[in-house]
């Protein structure tokens, strides 16, 4: 910490009427984050009750520390002390003001980072405009900032600069980087973090929390822009590949069940496929692709076998909880179905809020999947989507199926 002060003069407390009016420099006043309304009200009550015993620091009769105290005392005609200090110039004053604020507890880490950045800029300018020897000899005493100026890393060495700023602000260089990212991509949130404000749920906004939120939002925007650009869509359309593949193959339910197990199932309104035929399907997957495979209780083990045959990486299993379902003799009622999520490459979801592995929705016609499922996928995925073996047209999806209006040839 650098101390530019010397020849301190402490004036005795006196009444407002006998005190010379102090000057206010907007540069000094606006350098330090202001107190909140709550803090200001508390300070005023404290001064009214106990008096203003902390001196107001001045330079050339200009306030450099104590703007709020001065305002409260003059407004209420209360006595106050002043302490005059000498500095080389305004820049030296502001460096001292920043150092003076760093030890206070009523400002946030984000506010300290901003102050530390200003201090670094001041020191960099001083290093350019003044020789180190002049700085060391200021007012006949060695300037504690001289070592800081001598050891300043070059501006292009951003890593060391961030570490230096973090050290002054009492945090890591990584935290400084996070705050700068917030300032660049979400300036309105950066201001709230600096002020220590809370979100809509009353939770205080922090650098880490807002950084994660902002970074996620930025990554989603980039993912969507990349997947849904006209150029990308055209290339994938020519190649016949998709970013999201949904399929509900026509499992041969009756063939793979005993008579009792098949009870509750009627004749299927579509031709079925054997397990080997399903395995031989060629999925139209892009290099990075989400795959959702629908299956039932009976075929759940076989579904994993099929995914492995396709060379897909299993991620998790979603459960559709229905309001009704078939009940084979001697078995519980099957009121659930499953859609297994697997992936090819490294696809990304664009939204994971309220993205759960259970889906509660009423059932429709036989084999018809609920609209809530498609709403979910439209929200959490982007790019080209296809629903294979579909029985109706779905918004946001190309469809291919025995009873769908479009065909595989149409899509390709």
Asked if the structure places residue 134 within a domain, the reply is yes
For position 9, what pLDDT does the model report?
40
CATH of the domain at 366: 3.40.50.150
Domain assignment present for residue 398? The answer is yes
Question: What is the largest distance, in Å, between two alpha-carbon atoms of the chain?
Answer: 106
Judgement on whether residues 255 and 155 belong to the same structural domain of the protein = no
Give the end of a domain, one of 135, 154, 189. Answer: 189
244 shares its domain with 167: no
Containing domain of residue 387, as a range? 234-411
- Average pLDDT value for the chain: 82
**Pair (13, 129) in one structural domain:** yes
- Considering the domain boundaries, does residue 199 fall inside one? no
Tell me, yes or no, whether 344 lies in a domain. yes
**pTM to 2 decimal places:** 0.64
Based on the structure, what is the number of domains in the chain? 2
Residue 206 belongs to a domain: no
Q: Do 182 and 300 lie in a common domain?
A: no
Give residue 404's pLDDT. Answer: 44
Verify that 22 and 162 share a domain, yes or no. Answer: yes
The pLDDT, as a whole number, for residue 328 is 84
Cβ proximity of 351 and 210 under 8 Å: no
Q: Residues 251, 371: one domain?
A: yes
- Tell me, yes or no, whether 178 lies in a domain: yes
With respect to residue 197, please indicate whether it lies within any of the assigned structural domains. no
Q: Which of 156, 189, 222 is the last residue of a domain?
A: 189
Classify residue 259 as exposed, middle or buried by CB count within 10 Å of its CB (0-12, 13-18, 19+). Answer: exposed
160 plus 248 within the same structural domain:
no
Residues 183 and 242 placed together within one structural domain of the fold: no
What does the pLDDT read at residue 410?
A: 42
What is the pLDDT at residue 148? 54
159 and 106 in a single domain? The answer is yes
Q: Does 238 share its domain with 338?
A: yes
- As a three-state string, the secondary structure of 69-115 is HHHHHHHHCCCEEEEECCCCCHHHHHHHHHHHHHCCCCCCHHHHHHH
Domain assignment present for 248: yes
Phi-psi label, residue 359: left if phi above 0, alpha if psi -120 to 50, beta otherwise: beta
The pLDDT score that the predictor gives to residue 344 is: 97
Choose the final residue of a domain: 189, 215, 245. Answer: 189
Give the integer Cα–Cα distance in Å for 199 and 203. Answer: 5
pLDDT in tens, the chain (412 residues): 333 333 334 444 443 444 568 999 999 998 888 787 888 899 999 999 999 989 999 999 999 999 999 999 999 999 999 999 999 889 889 999 998 888 776 789 999 999 999 898 888 877 776 554 454 444 334 445 544 555 555 544 667 888 989 998 889 999 999 999 999 999 999 999 998 888 888 899 999 999 999 998 898 899 899 898 888 888 999 899 999 999 999 887 665 444 455 544 455 556 788 999 999 999 999 999 999 999 999 899 999 999 999 999 999 999 999 988 888 888 999 999 999 999 999 999 999 989 999 999 998 776 689 999 999 999 999 999 999 988 788 999 998 755 444 433 444 3
Q: Are 242 and 380 found together in one domain?
A: yes
The whole-angstrom separation of Cα 194 and Cα 24 is 24
Q: Are residues 259 and 169 part of one domain? A: no
């Amino acid at each position: 910490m650098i101390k530019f002060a010397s020849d301190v003069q402490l004036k005795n407390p006196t009444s407002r009427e006998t005190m010379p009016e102090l000057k206010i420099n907007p540069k000094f006043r606006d350098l330090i984050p202001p107190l909140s309304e709550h803090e200001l009200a508390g300070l005023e009550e404290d001064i009214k009750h106990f008096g203003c015993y902390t001196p107001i620091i001045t330079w050339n009769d200009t306030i450099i520390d104590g703007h709020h105290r001065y305002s409260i005392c003059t407004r209420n005609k209360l006595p106050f002390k002043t302490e005059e200090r000498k500095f080389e110039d305004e820049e030296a004053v502001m460096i001292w003001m920043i150092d003076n604020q760093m030890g206070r507890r009523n400002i946030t880490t984000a506010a300290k980072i901003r102050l530390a950045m200003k201090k670094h800029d001041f020191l960099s300018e001083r290093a350019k405009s003044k020789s180190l020897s002049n700085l060391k000899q200021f007012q006949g005493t060695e300037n504690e900032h001289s070592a800081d100026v001598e050891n300043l890393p070059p501006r292009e060495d951003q890593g060391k600069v961030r570490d230096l700023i973090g050290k002054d602000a009492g945090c890591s260089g990584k935290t400084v980087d996070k705050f700068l990212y917030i300032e660049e991509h979400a300036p309105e949130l950066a201001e709230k973090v600096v002020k220590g404000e809370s979100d809509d749920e009353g939770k205080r906004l922090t650098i880490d929390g807002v950084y994660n939120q902002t970074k996620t939002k930025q990554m989603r925007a980039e993912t969507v822009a990349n997947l849904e650009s006209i150029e990308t869509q055209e290339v994938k359309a020519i190649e016949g590949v998709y970013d999201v593949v949904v399929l509900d193959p026509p499992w041969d339910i009756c063939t793979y069940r005993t008579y009792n197990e098949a009870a509750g199932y009627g004749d299927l309104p579509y031709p079925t496929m054997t397990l080997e035929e399903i395995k031989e399907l060629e999925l139209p997957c892009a290099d990075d692709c989400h795959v959702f495979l629908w299956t039932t209780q009976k075929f759940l083990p076989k579904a994993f076998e099929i995914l492995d045959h396709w060379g897909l990486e299993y991620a998790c299993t979603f459960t559709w909880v229905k309001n009704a379902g078939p009940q084979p003799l001697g078995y519980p009622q099957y009121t659930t179905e499953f859609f297994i999520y697997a992936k090819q490459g490294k696809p990304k979801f664009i939204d994971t809020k309220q993205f759960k592995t259970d889906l509660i929705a009423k059932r429709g016609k036989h084999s018809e999947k609920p609209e809530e499922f498609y709403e979910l996928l439209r929200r959490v995925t982007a790019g080209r989507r296809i629903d294979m073996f579909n029985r109706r047209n779905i918004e946001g999806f190309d469809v291919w199926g025995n009873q769908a209006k479009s065909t595989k040839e149409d899509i390709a």
